[in-house]
Amino acid sequence: MRVAWQTVAAALAPVWLHAATTSAEKSAVHVLTDAGFDAWSDAQELALVEFYAPWCVYCQALAPSYERAAAALEQYGVKLAKVDCTEEQSLCEEMDINGYPTLKVVVNGDYVAYNGTREESGIVNYMRRHQEPPLPAVPAKGLGKFKDSAEVAVVGYFGSRAPEFGVLEEVARELRDEYSFGYVDDKGLAKIQGVPVPGIAVYKDGGEADIFTGKLTTESVVKFVRATSVPVLGELSSQTFGNYIRAGIPIGLIFYNTDEMRNGLESQLAGLAREFKRSVSLAFVDARIYAKHARMLDLKPQWPAFAIQDVVRRTKYLLPSTAAVSETELRQFVGKFAEGRLQPDFKSEAIPQRNDGDVFTLVAKQFNEVVFDRTKDVLVLLYAPWCIHCNRMAPAYEELGRSLRSHRNLIVAKMDATANDIPGSDADLNVPGYPTIVLVRANDNRIVKYHGDRSVASFTDFLRQHAAHGLGVSEVSHPEAAAAQPAYTEVHSRNVGFTPKETRHIEL
């Protein structure tokens, strides 16, 4: 579990708002521990659980609203609970809590992300809405209004007793925070809409329908809805980036810097975009606004420019700057990508000529070779040079490397994550903030996330517990070279230049 920490002055410790309520009345928020967590969760038809740390200032700010929302929801049979992750560390690891506060909705023991606001009214309205049916009936006369009122509307054409209803209901339960769902039991209307019965159609901005034709499973319909929720050749911006992320399809970014350039490319590429829409979502990007994203991709500031970004696998594919951004060149480039014949591009510093310091300096070009060497345990610090918390912990990390230098089966390494991409798609190597520290174990290459404090003692204890080769060292000195209270600088999005609310981690 990667935990994002905030520094809180010791003087504020007695003011922890989760320690007790300011009122003498009994709290409406249930306190959960590992012992009764599963039984309580299984018994809830609908509930909300907050995972928090007492020292977290955002948790403290949330506490009064959370308490009032819990009291307001009691009359509707919706319970609110909380888990102190400083006391229930194993439970929070199991629940994959990567920041504080994290809110999760529980339905009959199953946990999903909470996507509402943190105000009392927002929490109450969100939970009340989730008490309503996820797949409501849409009257035939109201279909037009239903489609027009939603950015993306998903409509099932069948009755409530059809087997397809259960599948779409599950999809709606999973995605209803993102899209509007309904069903119409009217074969005549389905015929007018050009949808077979039974059938599922996705409408964008009230326009023409994309009709589902695959094998009917919850997973396949979720994938279809997400993929068809973005335009065939749209505009990528801070407002629309979240939709493209949720679609889960690699994005083909067409950078332009004049309206005339964009219009010319649009007329050229419309057919190509439709042809490859299931493999790559082509979208325009205004380089006058989002040049920072182009730099993050390592594109040269020459417009037009093109790159494919696979956010899911955290890879990118750059059209060579010597190639023209044209229908002919992009058809060849995108076609090779769709067939799996392109190799990803990684930003990397040069491999150091000398690397004999106490801490090994990693770069992307040698990342996989060093980090996934099965003969060695490798502790990796992913940092940013400008991160004050990284700079504060640097002496302790250097001391750790110096103390453990004699261990031939262990490498203490660091990499500037702002100057080097991380090759591969392992989610455990994602960098939500700085510093991020992981151990890649010898033998099985299992990745273990570090979430202790920034001291040599804590680093050493972590390695003793998790390194495949162990340490067996008691002579390591433990100077207090870093603050015992962890600190962390959040990265809102590794997709620099596009940081809409939808892609950000909950404030930590």
CA distance 34 to 127: 24
85 annotated active-site? no
Residues 6+ apart with CB under 8 A from 366: 351
What strands lie across the sheet with 251-256, from one edge to the other? 233-235, 281-286, 251-256, 305-310, 315-318
The distance between the two most distant Cα atoms of the chain, rounded to a whole number of Å, is 81
For the chain, give the number of residues.
508
Instruction: List alpha helices for 194-257, DSSP H.
Output: 218-228, 241-247
The set of residues, in sequence order, having a beta carbon less than 8 Å from that of 500 and lying 6+ positions away, is 238, 239, 240, 241, 242
Among 387, 389, 418, which Cα is nearest to 496's? 418
Catalytic residue among 56, 81, 319, 463: 56
Q: From residue 300, give the alpha-carbon distance in Å to each of 58, 195, 210, 447.
A: 40, 46, 37, 34
Q: Which of 28, 32, 59, 457 is catalytic?
A: 59
Whether 81 and 488 have beta carbons less than 8 Å apart is answered as no
DSSP summary character for residue 272: H
CA angle 42–115–245, rounded 5-degree value: 120
Of these residues, 70, 123, 265, 387, which one is catalytic? 387
**Catalytic residue check, 92:** no
- Give the bridge partners for 411, in sequence order: 378
Strand order in the sheet with 209-211: 180-184, 152-157, 199-204, 209-211
Q: Which residues of 458-492 are buried (b: 16+ CB within 10 A; e: fewer)?
A: bbbebbeebbbbebeeeebebeebbeeebbbbbbb
What string of DSSP letters covers 424-486?
Answer: S--GGG--SEESEEEEE-TTT--EEE--S-SSHHHHHHHHHHH-TT----S-------S-SS-
* C-alpha span between 259 and 289 (Å, rounded): 13
Name residue 9's amino acid: A
> With the CA atoms of 190, 196, 199 and 200 taken in that order, what torsion angle do they form, in degrees rounded to the nearest 10?
-70
Residues identified as active-site: 56, 59, 387, 390
